Amino acid sequence: MTSVQIAQLSQETLVKEFFEKSEGNWHSQRRYYTLTPDVATKEMTSIITVEFLEQGCPQLIKLAKAHSLENETALVCGSYVGWESKSIENNRKISKGSTIFGVLGNILYRDRGFATPKPVKAAYSMTNPQGVIRWK
């Protein structure tokens, strides 16, 4: 095994552990400020659902196909993230959606981008499964 393969395996192991530990239901509360004085501060709350995805599951096979990967079961693991966000002031639903992440080596695949419905991918690095994934 080459040093590059060992590094990729290490990254995959770390991100797999991170995704496994992230599984569950989460609550996020945040505030949005603008520099425009006539725009009010927005306070939001979100319910976030995270599910760990095993290699070969239907969601990861679909993601591999969307990225035209030769091997449909190549993604070693992944995560489903769903959310529903509401305004705290009036309890009005602002946003609802979901996304799928998949991992192969040091590449993180996603079924859609932040500003595009098209599949996207990015290199990542991770040094600790307790920490944050850095995008490159």
Q: Residue 76 belongs to what domain range? A: 3-31+42-135
Show pLDDT as tens, one digit a residue, over the chain (136 residues).
555 454 555 778 888 989 999 999 999 998 888 888 888 888 889 999 999 999 999 999 999 999 999 999 999 999 999 999 998 888 777 889 999 999 998 899 999 988 888 999 999 887 776 765 555 5
Report the first-to-last Cα separation within the chain, whole angstroms.
25
* DSSP class of 35: S
Per the domain annotation, does 82 fall within a domain?
A: yes
Per the domain annotation, does 13 fall within a domain?
A: yes
As a whole number of angstroms, the distance between CA 65 and CA 54 comes to 16
Number of folded domains that form the chain: 1
| One-letter identity of residue 12 | E
Per the domain annotation, does 16 fall within a domain?
A: yes
As a whole number of angstroms, the distance between CA 58 and CA 51 comes to 13
Domain of 12: which CATH number? 2.40.128.20
What's residue 132's pLDDT? 58
Per the domain annotation, does 122 fall within a domain?
A: yes
